[in-house]
Amino acid sequence: MPRALAVLALCLAVLAGCADAPVAGPGADPDAAFLSAMIPHHEQALALTAMVGGRGASPGLEAIALRIDRAQVEEVGQMQGLARARGLAVTAHHGAHAMSGMAEPATLATLPTLCGPAFERLWLETMIRHHEGAVAMARGYTGTDDTLGRFAQVTVAAQSAEIDAMERLLH
């Protein structure tokens, strides 16, 4: 009997230690994995939109960059809030530049050196690929959270529409 009590006490201690732990890490939980990829993906989009001002971009590019910026700021906040509310372990995504659609470091270094049409073309090409990557990640969402599922669907629709608008600016 004392041994059974000791085992029970040990189990309770282990469970109590887990009470404040995140539900699952990104490797084990598709919801956490989705957020761990999508948050830094959106953050890079914000870095790209921050490059537009003062580059001699067309009013059309300035307008779409502002729309993307406002949407992505809101979505990052939503994703961070969802992660906190669900106790999901959202971790920094190592090798983020290798994620689908992420801009290469060389492109990120080149963009600030350009102005006018050269900047606009490279920025649009980069952001189109970036959005295509986000759309692919959102379509590939395999989690079970209804809110994240709807978020993924909205991401597909909104970013597909933005891709269409950016493609029109390219031509």
pLDDT in tens, 110-135: 999 999 999 999 999 999 999 999 99
- The secondary structure of 26-60 as a DSSP string is TTT-HHHHHHHHHHHHHHHHHHHHHT-TTS---HH
Q: Domain extents for the chain? A: 24-170
Contact 79, 39 (CB under 8 A): yes
Task: For 43-102, write each residue's pLDDT tens digit.
Answer: 999 999 999 999 999 999 999 999 999 999 999 999 999 999 999 988 865 555 567 899
* CA–CA dist 61, 80 (Å, integer): 28
Q: Which CATH architecture has domain 24-170?
A: Up-down Bundle (1.20)
- What is the identity of the amino acid at 51? M
Q: Measuring CA to CA, which residue among 107, 93, 102 is closest to residue 129?
A: 102
Q: What band does 25 get if pLDDT is binned at 50, 70 and 90?
A: very low
Band (171; pLDDT cuts 50, 70, 90)? confident
The pLDDT of residue 23 is above 70: no
What does the DSSP assignment read for 111-148?
GGG--HHHHHHHHHHHHHHHHHHHHHHHHT-----HHH
Mean pLDDT of 21-49: 80
